[in-house]
Amino acid sequence: MPYAPLLTALHGDTDRPDALRLSGRTCSYEELLGAAGAVARRADGLAALAVEAAPTLETAAAVVGGLLAGVPVVPVAPDAGPDERDHVLGDSGAQFVPVDFAERADFAAEPRGGTALVLYTSGTTGPPKGVLVSRAAIAADLDALAAAWEWTAEDTLVHGLPLFHVHGLVLGLLGALRTGSALVHTGRPTPEAYAAAGGTLYFGVPTVWHRVVREEAAAKALAPARLLVSGSAPLPVPVFEALHALSGHRPVERYGMTETLITVSARASGERVPGAVGTPLPGIATRVADPVDGIGELQLTGPTLFDGYLGRPEATAASYTEDGWFRTGDIAAVAADGTHRIVGRASTDLIKSGGYRIGAGEVENALLAHPAVREAAVVGAPHPDLGQQIVAYVVADGVAAQELTDFVASRLSAHKRPRAVRFLAELPRNALGKPQKRLLPPL
């Protein structure tokens, strides 16, 4: 896939002075292309280009410069510790180059294919693996999402997400460049910043939307927007309902992974069901493997899948079934109309208790419906009789454990009630706001 079709906007309305606004600084697409050309000249011929992925115009220029040069871009988290940084740079062979946004240069690029990004993702064991994401996969995914969300050059996209993950970088930066929409990156994704941005299309993770609905004025200020999109983790049903009540919007939820990009989504013009992530995008096929009680591991195929883990052929092979379907490791249920619900991760969120298979996400949503509960994470812990017992970690005020147990039992089947409840000041989370269950303290 040549670079030009991937960066559609850079060949469209290049003179708009505020096409991109990152952390308060603005530029036109023409200015971005000139700065990226200077980066491309320095990066040309490198094995990979390392980019300090802060929400700045320099980061945007570096990413586009790498794409212009046909060099794989390796985003590095600005707060990465020395061990993590050394691993990413050593594993990928990526090098930094100077980036001066005031510098301008032309770069006559030849049409190129191959790897666009190397995104590092952590598993449950071992150091992070480099995920090879191609230009073709990015282009296919962004075009499918533009159609699903009716995303055009008339939109102004607003988000405050990190630029070293798929959500903020691929969707939130390259998506704007692909569609030609304006982009406002708020720096920090605060409710006040979202309310003041005046966008038509907003991206956020559940933590962001939870904070927005706690600031009612901010949520109401989003009423003029066209679409709110939530991703990177399941959106709790109570947050969905609060967004609808306060802003008038039923948010779009979607599902994806670093290895697959976004594969399933609700549609801008379709029904949006709380707790559901919609239907597969065009070209994506999904299946639920070995379902029991209607749930099992979600597997899929399609044009948005990665090209493998950098230097790890065995890990790449292990991520696919014998007949070529990618193993997501996520547990899902699919309704008769094709609507997908993600129950959780197979490793942590599928609880087998007393012969039942229980999705942690369902119990978490029930807990979050209690007015005293602000956050909840549910896991399975070994139990001599049940096999596993349901354990709930909650952030809550003025409520006892038994009350929460009874509350869940009143909303769900009795066997889905927590057998143990532990109160925390906060849940451990990563940069995207996903709860890190492996970091929860033991009972």
The pTM of the full predicted model, rounded to 2 decimals, is 0.83
Higher pLDDT, 14 or 271: 271
Task: Kindly report, residue by residue over 42-75, the tens digit of the pLDDT.
Answer: 999 999 999 999 999 999 999 999 999 999 999 9
pLDDT of residue 433: 74
Say how far apart CA 105 and CA 99 lie, in whole Å: 12
- Rounded to the nearest 5 degrees, what angle is found at the Cα of 176, between the Cα atoms of 68 and 32? 45
Q: CA of 438: how far to CAs of 122, 293, 427, in Å?
A: 12, 26, 11
Confidence band, pLDDT 50/70/90 cuts, at residue 83: confident
Q: With pLDDT > 70 as the criterion, what percentage of the chain qualifies? A: 93
Considering just the CA atoms, what is the radius of gyration of the chain in Å? 22
Task: Kindly report, residue by residue over 117-159, the tens digit of the pLDDT.
Answer: 999 986 545 678 999 999 999 999 999 999 999 999 999 999 9
Confidence band, pLDDT 50/70/90 cuts, at residue 2: very low
CB atoms within 10 A of CB 237: 19
Higher pLDDT, 121 or 179: 179
The secondary structure of residue 234, as a DSSP letter, is P
Side chain identity at 377, as an amino acid letter? A
Q: What is the DSSP string of 260-297?
A: TEEEEE--TTS---TT--BEEPTT-EEEEEEEETTEEE
Task: Kindly report, residue by residue over 370-410, the tens digit of the pLDDT.
Answer: 999 999 999 998 887 788 899 999 999 999 999 999 999 88
For each of the domains in the chain, give its residue range(s) and CATH number, in order of start. 3-187 (3.40.50.12780), 261-345 (2.30.38.10), 350-439 (3.30.300.30)
Instruction: Give mean pLDDT, residues 409-429.
Output: 90
Residue 309 Cα to chain centre, angstroms: 19
Residue 4 has pLDDT above 70, yes or no: no
Q: With pLDDT > 90 as the criterion, what percentage of the chain qualifies? A: 71
Task: Kindly report, residue by residue over 191-235, the tens digit of the pLDDT.
Answer: 999 999 999 999 998 889 989 999 999 999 999 999 999 998 788
Q: Is the alpha carbon torsion for 313, 317, 319, 324 positive or negative? A: positive
The token duo for 104 is: 């301008």
Instruction: Give mean pLDDT, residues 90-97.
Output: 97
Higher pLDDT, 6 or 175: 175
Instruction: Give mean pLDDT, residues 322-344.
Output: 92
For 270-372, where are the E strands, in sequence order?
279-280, 285-292, 295-301, 326-334, 340-345, 350-353, 356-359
Q: Closest by alpha carbon to 165, among 424, 369, 431, 435? A: 431
Say how far apart CA 63 and CA 20 lie, in whole Å: 14
Side chain identity at 334, as an amino acid letter? V
As a whole number, the mean pLDDT across the chain is 90
pLDDT of residue 245: 98
Distance spanning both ends of the chain, measured CA to CA? 51
Confidence band, pLDDT 50/70/90 cuts, at residue 13: low
CB atoms within 10 A of CB 119: 23
pLDDT of residue 9: 61
The token duo for 205 is: 């993770």
Task: Kindly report, residue by residue over 224-272, the tens digit of the pLDDT.
Answer: 999 999 998 788 888 999 999 999 999 999 999 999 999 999 999 999 9
Higher pLDDT, 200 or 293: 200
3-state secondary structure of 176: helix
Q: CA of 383: how far to CAs of 380, 387, 392, 404, 420, in Å?
A: 9, 5, 15, 20, 11
Confidence band, pLDDT 50/70/90 cuts, at residue 323: very high
Instruction: Give mean pLDDT, residues 290-298.
Output: 87
Say how far apart CA 228 and CA 89 lie, in whole Å: 35
pLDDT of residue 1: 32
